[in-house]
Structure 1
Amino acid sequence: MDLQCILCWRIAPLFFLMPCGLLSVSVHVINEQPVHVIPGSSLVLKAQIELGPMKEISMVTWEQEPETGSDPVRVTLATCPGRSLKCVGTRPNVRMSMEQQETTLQINGYSRADGGVYTVTVTDHTGAKTAAQCIVREYEAVHHVSVSINVSHSVLVCGEAWGTDPRFSWLHERDAITQTVGKVSKDGTRLIVTMTPICGHFTCMVSNKLGYSSATYTAAPCETQGRGTTVAVVCLVLLLLLCGGVLAFLLWRRQRCGHRGERLHEHLDDGI
């Protein structure tokens, strides 16, 4: 038997013993999903390509299609042949780059129409294709904050409509929540009220990168030391005003009596 054939027969089984990862191509999107983008800013997606030693990249393509719809149409955004640095975008605001085993897609001036499902496809030299997807959505401001109460459990619940990445915080009479007032849940949506009775204004603040909104639950007014101090100050002021009035009256009366004495003395002198 020919020596070359003998070597082929001996080497061939080694390919079956090789791990599958050494003979295949894999790709995954690095960004945490779903990706939320503020309108007008830049969308940047990155994907890591793992290439087996027996494989070569023929083409890398980024595509986009609507997230919902009965018949979504996939549109090609950018392509890059092999490891070439000459990647081409289909629109002026679309850029694509390849660096080692990583590909980057950037869309400047993101708009609502740019949302949807993004697909990165890697084609090897044999024509085999491997793809990965991620969902891109518009970053929404917080909307319609509301506060409700579960009276039986003394729990205030804060709700928000559809804002992206909402963060919750609570105030009682414009001050941060203390242990004497209550305890806030880990996600911030609930306030377990420990103060008795429940009184005053409880405000839920919901915020994200685009701003904030709030809602307030109003209970019965609180009898606080501050109010007692205010009443005491008012009473003191009234007492001072009363004392001042009495003193002014006494001075006025003394001055009037003094004038009468002078006039009486003048009359006596005239009679003499």
Structure 2
Amino acid sequence: MDVLCFLSWRVASLLLLIPCTCNSLNVRILNEGPVHVIPGSNLLLRAHIESSTQDKVSMVTWERETETGPTPNRRVLATCPGSSQSPCAGTLPNVLANMGKEESTLQISGYQPADGGDYIVTVTHQNGNKTSARCIVREYEAVHHVSVSINVSHSVLVCGEAWGTEPHFSWLYNRRALTQTVGQVSPDGTRLYITQRPICGCFTCMVQNKLGYATATYTAGNCDPEDHSGTIAAVVCVLLLFICGGLLGLLLWRRHQRNSITRERLHEHMDG
């Protein structure tokens, strides 16, 4: 038994001296996906590579795969050797790749909608093993088809937008900045909880992003008290003018009648 224990201890000691051959190479894309790119601008993806002294990089490959379709189409965009001293090779004129000490970058100049898809960076070890990371890239879309609906029972206006990228919602009331006396806006800006009574006036939802804005309006009728008071005052003034004019005409007519009677009596007296 003592011999077996001694041999087991020796074998364990030898195993500890053998270098670890486990996969200690890791790669991750630093861009938070999905990445939205405005057409005509440049796309820049950065990948961070972590490696140990035992696992060295022999090659880095950048590829793009279609996001939709029954059969994804995969294409190599650039290949880089493991050494940062050697240049990378791109497969398209607008593709530029670079290899650093712990980082690899890929740049697409003049991005177009066809450049969207699933971007894959693959790191190949010297022993032939591979490690990959992915990032979805899509076109930056303008805002489209803004609409406003009302939930009458809850006094809520709801603003919707079709498929714009990074939409930002804001509200106007009668073409002016919204005040707390009119209502409260939800944290995401899509809902307006109306507090004023009655619900009236013109409510406008504005949705905007880097490419522009679009609006939609809900009109709940006119509720400006100044307009009503002005109309009533005008009607009252007209009525007063008619009344005063009628009274003045009546007084002039009665005066004319008295003068006529007086002249007739004078003529009768002179004739007699």
TM-score tier (shorter): 0.7 to 0.9
1:49 maps to a residue whose letter is I
Provide the residue aligned with 2:65 in structure 1.
65
Alignment correspondent of 1:13: 16
**Distance in 2 of aligned mates of 1:55 and 1:175:** 63
CA–CA separation in structure 2 for the residues paired with 1:19 and 1:168: 54
Give the corresponding residue for 2:125: 124
Counterparts of 1:11 and 1:209 in 2: how far apart (Å)?
A: 63
Identity of aligned residues (%): 60
Please show how residues 102-121 of structure 1 align to structure 2 within 5 Å.
102-121=103-122
Residues 156 and 19 of structure 1, relative CA distance in 2, 3 Å threshold: farther
Instruction: Find the aligned partners of 1:51 and 1:234 in 2 and give their Cα distance.
Output: 86
C-alpha displacement at 1:99, in angstroms?
1.8
Query: What's the secondary structure of 2:120's corresponding residue?
Result: strand
Q: Secondary structure at the match of 2:135?
A: strand
**Aligned residue number for residue 101 of structure 2:** 100
TM-score (norm 1): 0.78
- Helix, strand or coil: the match of 2:164? coil
Q: 2:112 is aligned with what amino acid?
A: S
Over 6 Å off, 4+ runs: 6-9, 232-235
SS at match of 1:110: coil
- In the superposition, relative to structure 1, how do residues 109 and 7 fare at CA in structure 2: closer, same or farther (>3 Å)? farther
- What's 2:44 paired with? 44
Q: CA deviation at 1:60?
A: 0.2
The amino acid of 1:43's aligned partner reads L
Determine helix, strand or coil for the equivalent of 1:10.
Answer: helix
CA displacement 1:208-237 (0-9 Å, x = unmatched): 000000000000101234x368669979xx
Name stretches of at least 5 consecutive residues in structure 1 with no aligned partner.
Answer: 1-5, 243-272
Q: Deviations over 1:9-47 (max 9, x none)?
A: 73532568x796xx5111111111100001111011111
Deviations 1:137-194 (A, max 9, x none): 0000000000000000000000000111111000000111111000000000000000
Q: Following the alignment from structure 1 to structure 2, what is the Cα–Cα distance between the partners of residues 221 and 56?
A: 74
Task: Give, in angstroms, the shift of residue 73 of structure 1.
Answer: 1.7
Look up the equivalent residue of 2:123 and give its one-letter code: V
Bigger Cα displacement from structure 2, 36-45 vs 23-32: 23-32
Q: 1:7 to 1:90 in 2, by over 3 A?
A: farther
Residues 160-175 of structure 1 correspond to what in structure 2 (within 5 A)?
160-175=161-176
Aligned to 1:75: 75
SS across alignment from 1:13: helix
Q: Name the CA distance, whole Å, in 2 between partners of 1:50 and 1:112.
A: 32
Separation (CA, whole Å) in 1 of partners of 2:17 and 2:204: 69
CA gap 1:14/1:196 in 2 versus in 1, 3 angstroms:
farther
